[in-house]
Amino acid sequence: MIGPLRKTSSGPRRVALAGITAMLAALVAACGTDYFEIPIETPIQPKLDVSPFQRVLVIGFVAGGTDDVDANQETVRLLRSQLRTKSSLKVIDADIIPLIDVARDQSQGSSEESNGPRSEGGAPPRASNGNGGGDRTIQGLSLPANIKDEKDLEPYERLFANTAYWKRIGEEFQNPLIVTGTVLFTNRSTSGFVQRDQETFDSLGRRRVMPMRTYMERKGFILRPKFVFIDGRTGATMYSESYREEILYNAQQNTPALSSYFELMDRLVPNFLSALSSQKIRGTRVLLK
Amino acid sequence: MNTPVIALVASAAVLAAIPASADAKKDAKSQVEFGISVAQRGLWREAIYRWEKATQIDPTYAAAYNDLAIGYEHEGQLDKARKAYEKALELDPNNSQVRQNYELFKEINDRTAQKDK
């Protein structure tokens, strides 16, 4: 037998629930949120005091590694263009010095003029100090003809300690801050197991991401620059910093060496700039109540 | 005979201290909130002043130290920022937001301190 429907208490309960929800919403609205994301810009002071200099001369690098990229030319061009836009120093446009040749000339103890930079319209500066010798040369050291790795590069580093040579260059360009160093851009290939996330779908169509170890052959490049900052007034090294960046691609991928070089340099340029100009690093932080 | 009197005085002192402490916390919170509102408008020095005040009023207020650290970071006062972050984490070690802020700060700070690698 079907009797009359019993009156349930769901009506008042629903009203009570709605009231509680409304009260909670009002409470949340009154209290507001307890955290706020805020963009910040952190100013970073330069590592070097460049106030005594008005001008900067990126003179050249001892470069080696792959022949696909002229790392000396490209590094000088890139750093000069970055300094033009992101530094208060005036960038000197001078011919790029093939520092390898300079080092070799010094190594041979040549008293003749080396392949120095040519000022805007002038003669190349001497490798020697021009007053009867006295430069600390890198005589007696065998310099490898081809620089393929760091070991080959090592003997060339003495060039940066030759204060008389750098002082001479400084005089030639009215005592600028001199930027030089070494750049090694080498091929790298590796093979082995690599962990990658692989997307799978089960029988119910649910997506799952599983870490999978797969054997891969990869190739890419390693960039190892060392930036040396020299005081053009004294020829002494003020500061130097070395970096290492690496990029690897699937072996089937054909990425030009030059684009890899720029990709790797892109990572390093902020570090280079932070040595001589103040930078602002943008980020986001969370303020709390 | 003196014992009940002492107990009474002590109780009264405790009762009086509770609202005072609650007032201080409320005051510190309002300083922090004001600091946030001015920081959002770009007035970072005023914000720092407010957050410093909040930490003086309530030295156990982790959020005030966190905000102060962010203010110092924005002004490039990295040593002060580090100390403030560390204090915030000391007071509230499980706060993931403070920890995240601190990690981001450290990344920048370590980079600036980086010399020859």
- For the stretch A10-45, pLDDT in tens is 455 555 555 554 554 444 444 457 899 999 999 888
Q: Which of A119-128, A194-203, B40-49 is the least confident region?
A: A119-128
Q: Give the residue-averaged pLDDT of A232-236.
A: 96
How many other C-beta atoms are found inside a 10 Å radius of the C-beta of residue A188? 13
Paired tokens of A109:
């103890």
pLDDT of the residue at A26: 47
From residue B19, give the alpha-carbon distance in Å to each of A55, B9, B56. 64, 16, 18
Nearest to B74 among A41, A243, A244 (CB): A41
Can you tell me the distance from the alpha carbon of B20 to that of B13, in angstroms, rounded to the nearest whole number? 11
Chain A interface mutation, best of B48, B112, B116, B117, highest count of A Cβ atoms under 10 Å: B112
DSSP string, A32-66: --SEEEEEEEEEE--SS--TT-SEEEEEEEEEEE-
User: Which residue, A230, A231, A264, A267, is CA-closest to A247?
Assistant: A264
pLDDT of amino acid A13:
56
Average pLDDT, chain A: 81
CB contact under 8 A, B66 and A241: no
Distance CA A90, CA A223 (A): 27
Verify whether the Cβ–Cβ distance A244 to B111 is below 8 Å. Answer: no
- Chain B contacts of A45, Cβ < 8 Å? 76, 112
* Structure confidence at residue A112 (pLDDT): 47
Integer Cα distance of A109 and A137 in angstroms:
7
A110-157: per-residue pLDDT in tens? Answer: 544 444 444 433 334 433 333 333 344 455 557 887 888 888 888 999
**What is residue A6's predicted lDDT score, i.e. its pLDDT?**
43
pLDDT of residue A218: 86
pLDDT at A225: 96
Confidence at B51, pLDDT banded by 50, 70, 90: very high
Instruction: Give the Cα separation of A198 and A111 in Å (integer).
Output: 64
- pLDDT-derived band at B116, boundaries 50, 70, 90: very low
Q: For residue B114, is pLDDT > 60?
A: no
Would an 8 Å CB–CB cutoff place A35 in contact with chain B? yes
Is some CB atom of chain B closer than 8 A to the CB atom of A73?
Answer: no
Token look-up 């080696």 returns: A64
Query: What pLDDT band is residue B86 in, cutting at 50, 70 and 90?
Result: very high
Q: Are A40 and B44 spatial neighbours (Cβ–Cβ below 8 Å)?
A: no
> pLDDT-based confidence at B11, cuts 50/70/90?
low
B 9-48 near A (Cβ less than 8 A): 29, 32-33, 36, 39-40
Give the model's pLDDT for residue B6. Answer: 64
CB contact under 8 A, B40 and A36: yes
Interface ipTM > 0.90: no
Residue B1 structure tokens = 């005979």
Can you give the pLDDT at residue A244? 94
CA-nearest residue to A277 within chain B is B112
Return d(Cα B75, Cα B69) in angstroms, integer: 10
Average confidence (pLDDT) over A233-251: 93
What is the number of CB-based contacts under 8 A between chain A and chain B? Answer: 68
Least confident of A111-125, A135-149, A188-202, B63-77: A111-125
Q: What is the spatial distance between Cα B50 and Cα B65, in angstroms, rounded to a whole number?
A: 11
- Of the candidates B33, B101, B111, the beta carbon closest to that of A285 is on B101
8 A C-beta contact, residue A96 and residue A124: no
Q: Strand A90-91 vs strand A55-65: parallel, antiparallel, or unpaired? A: parallel
Question: Over 70: is that where the pLDDT of B9 sits?
Answer: no
Q: Cβ B36–A36 below 8 Å, yes or no?
A: yes
CA of B113: which chain A residue's CA is closest? A47
Is residue A170 predicted with pLDDT exceeding 50?
yes
Query: Do the chains contact at B112 and A283, CB–CB below 8 Å?
Result: no
d(CA B96, CA B100) in angstroms, rounded, equals 6
Contacting residues for B51 by C-beta, under 8 A, at least 6 apart: B31, B32, B35, B64, B65, B67, B68, B71
Considering CB atoms only, which of A40, A242, A288 is closest to B116? A242
Given a cut of 90, is residue B103 above it in pLDDT? yes
Nearby residues of A200 by Cβ (< 8 Å), 6 or more positions away: A207, A208, A209, A210
Neighbours of B90 (CB within 10 A): 10
For A33, name the nearest residue in chain B, comparing CA atoms only.
Answer: B33
Task: Give the whole-angstrom CA distance, residue A244 versus residue A240.
Answer: 14
Any B CB within 8 A of A240 CB: yes
- Pairwise CB contact (< 8 Å): B115 & A241: yes
Residue with the larger pLDDT of the pair A245 and B9: A245
CB contact under 8 A, B108 and A44: yes
Q: Please give the residue of chain A at the shortest CA–CA distance from B103.
A: A285
| Residue whose token pair is 């799952």 | A208
Query: What does the angle CA A20 – CA A25 – CA A30 come to, to the nearest 5 degrees?
Result: 125
